[in-house]
Amino acid sequence: MDGLSQQSEEEQEAMRLQAQDEQQQSDQLQSNILRIEKEIEELEQKELSISFNEEIVLKRLKEVERTPEDIIKMLMAVGRKDLL
């Protein structure tokens, strides 16, 4: 009987150590998941900021953008003023 109870205690200790190890791994994985989720949120915020700034830059470019027709009209208007 003594051998059986000793083996059972050893098995119980081994199972306890395995459960403890699995819990540590689970905790580490959960920590990694939370860290990665936070990084994703930060990157998404940066992406939104970049997109917003990009829209502002494109809007400003369109405000100063001139087509060849616009330039010709401007030059003709300046030429008419010179003639007057």
Determine the residue type at 81: K
Rounded distance between C-alpha atoms, residue 72 and residue 66, angstroms:
10
Which helix or strand (DSSP H or E) is residue 37 part of?
helix 2-64
Q: What distances in angstroms separate CA 20 from CA 6, 26, 30, 50, one per listed residue?
A: 21, 10, 15, 45
Q: Write down the pTM of the prediction.
A: 0.59
From its phi and psi, is residue 66 left (phi > 0), alpha (psi between -120 and 50) or beta? beta
- Does the pLDDT at position 15 exceed 70? yes
For 1, the token pair is: 């009987």
pLDDT of residue 23: 98
Of the chain, the percentage scoring pLDDT greater than 70 comes to 87
pLDDT of residue 14: 94
